[in-house]
Amino acid sequence: MSADPPSTPIAPAPTAPLRERVAAVIERIRPAVQADGGDIELVDVTDAGRASIRFHGACVGCPSSAVTLYHGIERTLRDRVPDVTGVDQVD
């Protein structure tokens, strides 16, 4: 019986640059958003830890996008990358 492959970490090591750590988590979130016909793009991450994202596809104008942003994306980012202080949506 072969051993299971090592699990892929949710985010790079805490020593990686902040943008890289945020991007890694966004890439893990994207398939769930894409499954609903939308997409998310990481636009920027400030030195203060604020991430800016842009919604695409079905997420644009969706009334649930604010819930997705604050209760899904932001919560996940803050859990996985403690340096993130918040997430903003940009057009």
> For residue 65, what is the domain's CATH number?
3.30.300.130
| Within a domain: 2 | no
Contact predicate 2/65, CB 8 Å: no
Query: Domain total for the chain?
Result: 1
| Within a domain: 3 | no
SS3 50: strand
Which residue in 20, 18, 33, 41 sits closest to 90, CA to CA?
A: 41
- Please say if the pLDDT value at position 10 is more than 90: no
β-pairing, 38-45 vs 86-89, is unpaired
Range of the domain at 43: 18-89
CA 78, chain centre distance (Å): 9
Residue 61's pLDDT is 86
| Within a domain: 77 | yes
Condensed to tens digits (0 to 9), the pLDDT of residues 39-88 reads 999 999 999 999 999 999 998 888 888 888 888 899 999 999 999 999 99
Amino acid found at 72: G
pTM (2 decimals)? Answer: 0.81
